[in-house]
Structure formats: C-alpha cells, structure tokens
A = this chain, B = another copy of it.
Amino acid sequence: MHESSRLPVGIIGASGYGGVQLVRLLQDHPQLEVAYLGGDRSAGKEFAELYPHLGPHLNLTIEAIDVDRIAERCAAVFLSLPNGLAYDLAPALLERGCKVLDLSADYRFHDLKTYALWYGGDRQDAAVAHTAIYGLPELYRNRIANAQLIGCPGCYPTASLLALAPALKQGLIDPDTIVIDAKSGTSGAGRQAKTNALLAEAGNSVGAYGVARHRHTPEIEQICSDLSGHEVLLQFTPHLMPMVRGIHATIYAKLRDPNLTTEDCLTVYQAFYRNAPMVKVLTHGTYPQTKWAAGTNLCYLGLEVDARTGRIVLLSAIDNLIKGQAGQAIQCLNLMQGWEEGLGLPTLCYYP
C-alpha cells in the first residue's frame, strides 16, 4: 500500500544504463516516485552498491521480477530489458492494471512480421501488441495520452525521425533518397562487458557497424512510411564514436522543389515544432553538437539546403540515454497522466 501522493512506478531491468537513467531522472520528477526496482541478475543487491553516486539519494534494493508484487506497488512500469523479454511481462502487467512503457524493441512495430524478420522470436501477444503506441511524443502526442502500453523508440530512430518528420509530413523531400548516417557514443551498447566497447578498443577510433542490416532500420522506415503515406525504404548506417553519450544523425535527401532555401525549410521546421518543448530548431548556420544535448531530454535540429545539389542536409543531436531512451519514456508517461510533457525532465546541459 503506497501512501505518498506521487505516482508509484517500477523499473524492471534497473541495473543497466536504461535503468540507472530512469532512477536518476525520477529523482528530479515532482510527481513520480520509484516504488520497485526489479532485475533478475542483480536481485538482492542494494542499488547503491551498483551505483555509489546514487547511494546517498536512493535507499532501494533490487528485487526479483514478480508480476503480482510489481502490480501491487506500481501504477506504471518501465521495462528496460533486452529485446524479447518484455512481451512475456507486459500482458500480465497490463491485465493487473499497470501502465507499461517498454524500452526494448518488443512493442515498436505495427506489423509483427517485420519484428519477426529482424528480431526473430515466437510471440503469443499479438492482441496486446496491436494496442501498443509508438512512444515518440512529438508525433503521437494524443495517442500516447490515451495508451496503456507504449513501445518506446530506439535511440537512433528518435534522432532520425525528429529530423525527418517535418520534411516528410510536408512532402519536402523524396523519401526514396533518404540516407541516414548516424554516430553514437558507446553507452548505447549497454553496460554488459563487450570487447568492442572497451575503451582500449573504441577509444581513439571511429568505424561503422551493422551496415545495411541494423535493426533500427525497419523501425525508422515504419514511421517514415506513416508520415509520407507510402512505403519507404532508406539507408541507415550507424557508427561508434569515441565518446560516452550522444547520438548525431546526419540525414540527406533530395528536395522535391529545388528552389526551396534553407530559410524556407527552417520556417517549416519551426512551425512543426512550435509546441514541442523538447525539440529546439537552431538558427541558420548553427549546427547541433551532441554535448549540448548531453544530460537533457532535448533534441537539437539544424539543417542546410545545398542549392548546388538540390539536397537538404538534416542534423540532429540527442542524448542517447535520455531523449533516446529513459527521458522519452518519462515524457510519454507525463502525457499518459495528463501532465505537461516536459514535467521533471532536464533541458540544460552543463557545458562544456
């Protein structure tokens, strides 16, 4: 029985970077309160053992994942688990009256065949899955407000789609020419130890991975297709950067009208995001730096039209773990509760 006036929420998968981000952000949220930290590998550990810097602030122990106890204590639950685990948990939590915000890929796809093709797995939750809403507030604000189950976007799709949406929605670009060149800090790979994410390996170096086969591709395409009204296939290439946090997406497409100027396009973007407190469209000549977004839930957007080539170049920067993951999930929950969407979310980095 929870007695505080704040909404009690659970975080399942609390020991990973998504989990610790949620815990951290919720410390500053005026209406939400952590009521359950769940995790199978770390069950029984004090959270402060894993993250000593959160110790003085949070006196919680990680518990085993028990659906009944979670539902008893929490009004909403964030699932921050590897792909393929949420769809075993979410139906039971929804049944018990919890709102569910899933940070994995499990509930991002309208079409479960696409999910199966790129992620594999045999799942029985089709009916539930069809009620899930894609948790990108800038595009689906109203649907999110009325949802019980949110499939929170991937980090690359967030950076990419916020940059592409106005152009696609207004028909400024030819969707068949879209090329997304994305650059991510290594925290996107999670806290599991992997050789290629060691500082000794990823430090001082830049390289691409998953070329022409990264699983965020169909996720981006799905939403681009929604926005443009016809099926989009696009090029997406992720790269690992020698830095901890941040994603920068550089996106190229042919303008339908080659006479459009940078100023014209900026006007469209500013209008599109006029009421989006988490998106900042930069003035002409200023390009986003990932460090401006670090530690915030903002997406910075810049753009440039190249009159020589007839292309628009879109530039987007987010914090992969906040706007690209945990912060955006909270933004969704804010909407689901009828609160201001930016409630309790940080918007100012500590520069430099």
Contact = CB atoms under 8 A, between A and B. Distances in A.
Contacts of A321: 350
B200 A349 contact: no
A295 B199 CA distance: 17
Interface in A259-304: 280, 282-283, 286-295, 300, 302, 304
Interface in A237-259: 237, 239, 241-246, 248, 250, 252
A20 interface: yes
A352 B212 contact: no
Interface stretch (A69-77, A89-97, A311-319): A311-319
A300 B51 CA distance: 13
> Which 9 interchain pairs have the tightest Cβ spacing?
A193-B193, A53-B292, A205-B291, A212-B306, A181-B181, A207-B289, A187-B200, A199-B199, A211-B304
B237 A313 contact: yes
Contacts of A244: 199-200, 203-204, 352
A83 interface: no
A200 B199 CA distance: 8
A53 B159 CA distance: 17
Interface string A142-166: 0000000000000000000000000
Interface of chain A, main secondary structure: mixed
A2 interface: no
A233 interface: yes
A1 interface: no
Nearest to A218: B308
B315 A52 contact: no
30 contacts: A17-B200, A20-B351, A24-B349, A52-B286, A53-B293, A53-B348, A57-B348, A191-B195, A192-B195, A193-B197, A197-B198, A198-B199, A199-B244, A203-B244, A204-B244, A206-B290, A207-B287, A207-B288, A207-B290, A207-B317, A208-B248, A208-B315, A211-B287, A211-B315, A235-B311, A237-B252, A239-B250, A244-B352, A294-B350, A319-B350
Contacts of A319: 350
Nearest to A295: B350
A185 interface: yes
B350 A24 contact: yes
A183 interface: yes
Contact of A186 (B200, B207, B250, B313): B200
A34 to B, nearest CB: 13
B313 A282 contact: no
A112 to B, nearest CB: 20
A201 interface: yes
Contact of A185 (B186, B200, B283, B311): B200
Contact of A198 (B193, B234, B322): B193
A242 B242 contact: yes
A56 interface: yes
A293 B293 CA distance: 19
A283 B46 CA distance: 14
Given A212-B313, A237-B313, A248 B206 contact: yes
Interface in A297-352: 300, 302, 304-306, 308-309, 311, 313, 315, 317, 319, 321-322, 347-352
